[in-house]
Structure 1
């Protein structure tokens, strides 16, 4: 058993002499509380091995048999585990059920990579090397955001994505469910949100401002039954799903469905163009009431502690030019449109808090009064993370230049639709969620970090694979593993890990660049230099209230 077999890198590995081999006598033992984890372990080991792996309680194995034993130890940390392999089998002990689950993920990595195949792999010896592993995560929020608004990912693709997150010890899926280009969650009280807002007549093809449209309708949405299934599937893998309904900007799909929600009351279409949109929600009490009903249904579907309300990229041009909005600002005793945005988000935040949940929002929220109990997603560099932590708010770091997986992966001209600055595998591995200059108490406000997968230029799960992997492998290790980082060591372990992704059919980016079918020749991008991008981000965060 060697550290080169495992990704993310564990805290400690001690090797032994010999191997334990799974065979027809091997069973799984687990207490009642761990029965769901044992059933999951059966489900991922049986297809490739063809072994029955019967499950029992904590009774001793039959004479001559061997076991995969699952147990709990409250002295271990939350999500931590201990894996011991010897002549009698493998024992996985966790500080909680999540820790046992992560120990099972480690066990899979100790087996040959064919274990990740979905049908029996003949001629493979299913051997686990003797030794011991002790491990626990660095951060409690280890996340990935998936944008299903720009390009819809069908339910089966989301379930597959959840399996890939679990494989990498990621415990949070932030689902970006609404935007100008699509509304993806069924709301029973407001059916036109999906009848009208879930599809658009075409999509922008490329990143340049003058890029053409493709002339192809695009759409889809999740029924409430779908979302309950996704949430339950995620929970079985110890992943919390955080829904995001983006307001008051990024709302054209909702306005297309219900024009009275807009400032001008115009008939709009679900937007076929990317970028920051000036069509935003009006600030009437009726619009606020509409969205409180939306959030009520969303909170019924997603039982986790965090509810995303967006708050990002909300140009106030329409508010500033609208007499009715200016009247509302005066009536509410506000100083201007930025305070109006804070008022709107504050009302939603109070409603969310009254349901016992916490608001999760982008770092633009720091430009005004902040809803109580908020978790700030710091995306425009690390300014938001540093400011929020110093002001006493919890933070999830997701700086664009280190964790935005829609950014191009190299300077190669063959990169598909090259956008923004290069974010290489080494850049992703260099991500640190804790910004410099914080005190110990301030650093404790950093819950962790996440990779963000914006899908303007990812029109299929195959494209998502290319942009996400293996950079997500690097970020997963950053968020899980403690101690000094060594990129060269990571590359050694990654090359072993890629065989697992191959077995799963993940179409990741190869070390030497995209395969011909992963390129997008002739489709314009919007690349930038790091200096120009840093200047842009500095301008965007200038309004954050220190």
Structure 2
């Protein structure tokens, strides 16, 4: 059936003499609690087919032909989780049963794929009748965290493009959007008590074009930010597609945009922070936050507003690429090290991160950071035996129709090992090593190693690739990525809660550039995140991609063609930063 990601089990009957056909008579029936999925399916299929798909009760749908019936299956939920589903189609209609709302939603996405590429268009076009052969599909994902990082700091992505990207994630059954909201080059979230973060920090005077060796600049000012209502809209839109939005506020490094807005946040006893602007270069920046009580209170204030917008269990606080030179030179930082009885600057950063680990935990949230947060020690926060385990804030609030179940927002106190688990989790980006160390120490891990799933890296060798960056990571390379390192034993492997592909946008100025870098490789990654290793077959995936390219065409995705970029997708003369040779192992 050319489905992507490939389901666990598909059974069809030959010859396909009996088919279910969507028509003006077809209705969509939903059990109580499944109405949100039914509304989404009705809206998408109505747009593509021109049929209205009237609603009816589940009992009525089961008694009549020409119905798509959505219902829950407690046994399926108990055996395979909320994201599992079972779909059977025959001449009388389609029966979809899910372990929870996410399972029903993923089944609806599968149904849409079965109807062909035309089902992904926004208005009807001429074509064959809407038929599905008799089929049985049983499916569930391998990982609960199937994520994509979208960097909106280096190049701002307007809200409409973020909503479109969420739709593309949903098509591929990806369920976590890691939104990188702040960095040296721009602050993208409105914080009402600190208005200068967006007044000053949300724009820069110019941008580097390509890598610095090319010495090219675009002297047009660049900027933008999301109001709090914009972000609430993004979260709500994602929720209806069973996607959790995890915000990232990067600290204590990658913070020059914040320091430009509020110079007292920087190391003013070392550098003239009042003279700093929002950074116009790419790379690792020496200007980092100071470690005063005032800086802690400032970012507690930022996070208080952030928690009101994002109900996600996890809040990402970066922690990566924080040079320690200013702290070594700063009398105030050295006094802080002595006051706290710390050994060195690495322990100072660990103390800084652990402060926010405790602060978030006290509010029912969990910190996640890049693997550098392990440096200097990241304490395992084991709860005393019998102590209650804090759930995600979203689980404490009244459940809303369409709210995500499972995935990154699921309550985890049902797992036996939950009471002994560390609060903080680690995004392992510098290869596997950080993730292996974290998992063995009892930290949950999201595997996103640069050498495998950084989708800003070039897709082929040669001069045609636009702004060639990093290692060559082809479609097949991404498909062959395995998130769970072989050296982990069974207990440690359970701490790998998922995997994530990262789209850093230094060399992606708009949605067209993001399309090119992300697709088709994000389709390969989606199958890696969904399917067990034994079920993956690149030759079969490549064959199925022939149909999937037509779906991407219908969706308007400007992906990289298999034969190489279109002329308008190239950037001749713009210097990148290709890395010679194969990526290092691990």
TM-score of the pair, normalised by structure 2: 0.89
2:576 corresponds to which of 511, 525, 530: 525
Shift of 1:61: 3.7
Match runs of 1:204-243 below 5 Å: 204-209=208-213, 211-243=215-247
Matched, 1:478 2:528: yes
Q: Secondary structure at the match of 2:218?
A: coil
What does residue 317 of structure 1 align with? 325
User: CA 1:131 to 1:327, structure 2 compared with 1: closer, same or farther past 3 Å?
Assistant: same
Take 1:493 and 1:208, find their aligned partners in 2: how far apart are those partners? 40
Contact 1:149 1:181 in 2 (8 A): yes
Match runs of 1:298-313 below 5 Å: 298-313=306-321
Match runs of 1:500-511 below 5 Å: 500-511=551-562
Matched, 1:403 2:407: no
Contact 2:21 2:66 in 1 (8 A): no
Q: Once superposed, what is the RMSD of the aligned Cα atoms?
A: 1.3
Take 1:74 and 1:245, find their aligned partners in 2: how far apart are those partners? 38
1:270 corresponds to which of 274, 278, 291: 278
Take 1:368 and 1:209, find their aligned partners in 2: how far apart are those partners? 34
Shift of 1:209: 4.2
Matched, 1:47 2:47: yes
Take 2:435 and 2:353, find their aligned partners in 1: how far apart are those partners? 19
Contact 1:25 1:64 in 2 (8 A): no
Take 1:164 and 1:92, find their aligned partners in 2: how far apart are those partners? 22
Q: Extract unaligned runs of 5+ from structure 2.
A: 382-422
Take 1:62 and 1:70, find their aligned partners in 2: how far apart are those partners? 10
Deviations 1:35-92 (A, max 9, x none): 0000000111001100010112213249864101001001112201111000111111
Q: Secondary structure at the match of 1:59?
A: helix
Matched, 1:493 2:544: yes
Matched, 1:415 2:488: no
What does residue 259 of structure 2 align with? 255
Q: Secondary structure at the match of 2:360?
A: helix
Matched, 1:383 2:433: yes
2:442 corresponds to which of 351, 375, 392: 392
Deviates more, 1:402-411 or 1:364-373: 364-373
Shift of 1:129: 1.4
Q: Extract unaligned runs of 5+ from structure 1.
A: 539-546
Take 2:352 and 2:56, find their aligned partners in 1: how far apart are those partners? 54
Take 2:274 and 2:58, find their aligned partners in 1: how far apart are those partners? 65
Take 2:199 and 2:133, find their aligned partners in 1: how far apart are those partners? 55
Take 1:209 and 1:273, find their aligned partners in 2: how far apart are those partners? 12
Q: Secondary structure at the match of 1:33?
A: coil
Matched, 1:461 2:511: yes
Contact 1:32 1:57 in 2 (8 A): no
Shift of 1:212: 2.3
Match runs of 1:83-482 below 5 Å: 83-209=87-213, 211-264=215-268, 265-370=273-378, 372=381, 373-482=423-532
Take 1:273 and 1:256, find their aligned partners in 2: how far apart are those partners? 14
Shift of 1:266: 3.1
Deviates more, 1:142-151 or 1:336-345: 336-345
User: CA 1:259 to 1:153, structure 2 compared with 1: closer, same or farther past 3 Å?
Assistant: same
Q: Secondary structure at the match of 2:426?
A: strand
Q: Secondary structure at the match of 1:327?
A: helix
Take 1:328 and 1:444, find their aligned partners in 2: how far apart are those partners? 38
